[in-house]
Structure 1
């Protein structure tokens, strides 16, 4: 077990050893789990995304970064960034973000491979470029929006926002269409990726860092400092929400994910309990690789080393599969 000095009223390692973490299972899927997600995917693919490239924001690391806007399900118009290399495009990426959204491309650029184009979408409700009237823009509220029914839960629409982002990328950068895309997602973006990618054959390889939404039944028993605590509180007053959460479990979805996947999971994480992260990795149906980090969502002395190790592992992983 890994331990750090902290002020949390709970143990962010939750008493798990690495061996125990590697044994955390995925909850069984509802009988219509795959049908539910395939129907949502088909609806997203039918959307005319009408992408538009906006202003040039910056030039660095051999790429140009532009603002971008596109349409997702429900006619919702979303923003983000489009990354274009100075030379020919050989690879394409969709890059998800953590809870709280993104205000700029940040560490998502440079991309894992040279000669890559990427779309960095802001899913609905998150970040200044993803604001949507009526959807809370703070994680604790966002994660509960529409949670009363599987068809209204905002997480399902956020997954669709990623699918529509991939469609927008293919339209704006035709060189990425017909090639296997890469997906990169951290925390919230990791959980969304696990939910999105089993159904989308446009993607060839997946990298998830400290993914959330893994093993909801277990998460509901674990206190945390992230959005899961809001769900725990809601569940205490509305236990029937368990049936909705069954359709949005990243570990359950991972049992359908056959694309090669690299998961970076942490031993100590106050925001996303490590057992849920490892449940996603353990459940993967295809080729899989695991990078174990000392901590997630926590500033510690070895953080820069952990980030460097992740960057190196990500580059090696995508070079092998894309």
Structure 2
């Protein structure tokens, strides 16, 4: 069934057809799921992020890229990059999540899907050169287990808070995004918001967990999102961080009760924003059944782009990346109201 030759000791297509993937449900929410996340969100919104913009590091794709630092929950100071339009005031903003392993440079995340857009590209705690923190392991298979013994200490919850605080930092750096005055066009995305989210793999999973509770966002695009349907993921071998969780579960089966609060598919049942998901049929790192569980669970307007593979180099990868860039531009462009 696998569409690509490979040497993995398992089938990265997991024997599922597209029709079967489109029927994979989300697990039910545990007691207190919504209250848990709303409380975490309120805590993050109280943080004085105090962003500091660094000197210009690069100019390309119509934006000037600066380093940035900001404060997140627990007083943790994180870094990353901010992209600001060269020629016009920013009318839109994006928070751009990263994959496991973090980012050590802004990477190919620009050009942005809307003109006159600014973006913050944070490194969440423990990840990448600008998110490193004492005691939090940087390696994905160790990071994903950090604090996993309790829903209140699990690092994934703090990483979600880092996304919220990154949005707060961008609002402070580009005040027009928050007060509605941004730029000259007066256009906005869904619900009057000027803020969008982009996230891939780890960043896609964090987005699904973060966005249902944050009214500042108007639309989102998630690529091969992780953390979807943990009960099913625990049965599927992979080469990504999920395999570390599977190994931990074999020794600590009670961890399923913690994972229920960090299930991206469960959270997606609360996600009402227009959302474009790019999900892969073949992926050795993030099993496709979990990716499609996130898409299937979305509570609001949704669009799907099916990729032949994720986390896997293949002959058609460049063409699919170009198709995704075009789909992303069209998706956000259709959600702009009042101009833009």
**TM > 0.5 between the two?**
yes
Displacement of 1:180: 2.9
Query: Which residue of structure 2 aligns with residue 97 of structure 1?
Result: 98
Deviates more, 1:179-188 or 1:201-210: 179-188
> In angstroms, what is the RMSD of aligned CA positions?
0.7
Structure 1 residue 158: deviation in Å?
0.1
- After superposition, residues 205-244 of structure 1 pair within 5 angstroms as 205-244=219-258
Instruction: Name the CA distance, whole Å, in 2 between partners of 1:57 and 1:318.
Output: 27
Q: Which residue of 1 aligns with 2:195?
A: 181
In structure 1, list runs of 5 or more residues that go unmatched. Answer: none
Distance in 2, matches of 1:108 and 1:167, equals 20
Tell me, what secondary structure is at the counterpart of 2:253? coil
| Pairs within 5 Å for 1:4-153 | 4-86=4-86, 87-153=88-154
Note if contact 2:62-2:85 (Cα within 8 Å) is conserved in structure 1: yes
1:26 is paired with a residue of what secondary structure?
A: coil
Does residue 1:279 correspond to 2:293, yes or no? Answer: yes
SS at match of 2:235: coil
Match of 1:154 in 2: 155
- What TM-score do the two structures reach when normalised by structure 1? 0.99
Give the Cα separation in 2 of the matches to 1:112 and 1:157. 27
| Partner-residue secondary structure (3-state), 2:161 | helix
Contact map agreement 1:198 1:254 (CA 8 A) in 2: yes
- 1:177 alignment partner, SS class: helix
SS, match of residue 20 in structure 1: helix
Q: Distance in 2 between matches of 1:162 and 1:319?
A: 23
Shift of 1:61: 1.1
For 1:55 and 1:272, how far apart are their aligned partners in 2?
36
- Counterpart selection for 1:203 from 214, 217, 230: 217
Aligned to 2:183: none
Quick check: 2:59–2:65 contact (8 Å CA) kept in 1? yes
1:249 lines up with 2:250 in the alignment = no
SS of the equivalent of 2:238 reads coil
Equivalent-residue separation in structure 2 for 1:181 and 1:50 (angstroms): 19
CA distance in 2, matches of 1:106, 1:128: 13
Report the TM-score when normalising by structure 2: 0.94
- Residue 317 (1) aligns with residue 331 (2): yes
Per-residue deviation, 1:137? 0.3
Question: Distance in 2 between the 1:184 and 1:247 partners?
Answer: 22
The separation in 2 between residues aligned to 1:247 and 1:227, in whole angstroms, is 17
The 2-side partners of 1:162 and 1:17 are apart by: 33
Please report how far the alpha carbon of residue 2 of structure 1 lies from its aligned counterpart in structure 2 after TM superposition.
4.9
8 Å CA contact retained: 2:2, 2:12: no
Structure-2 separation of matches of 1:10 and 1:241:
24
CA contact (8 A) 2:204 2:224 kept: yes
Q: Structure 1 CA distance, aligned partners of 2:130 and 2:198?
A: 19
Question: Offset at 1:114?
Answer: 1.3
Question: 1: CA distance between counterparts of 2:213 and 2:335?
Answer: 18
SS at match of 1:147: coil
Q: Is the 8 A contact 1:2 1:294 kept in 2?
A: no
Runs of 4+ in 1 over 4 A off after TM superposition: none
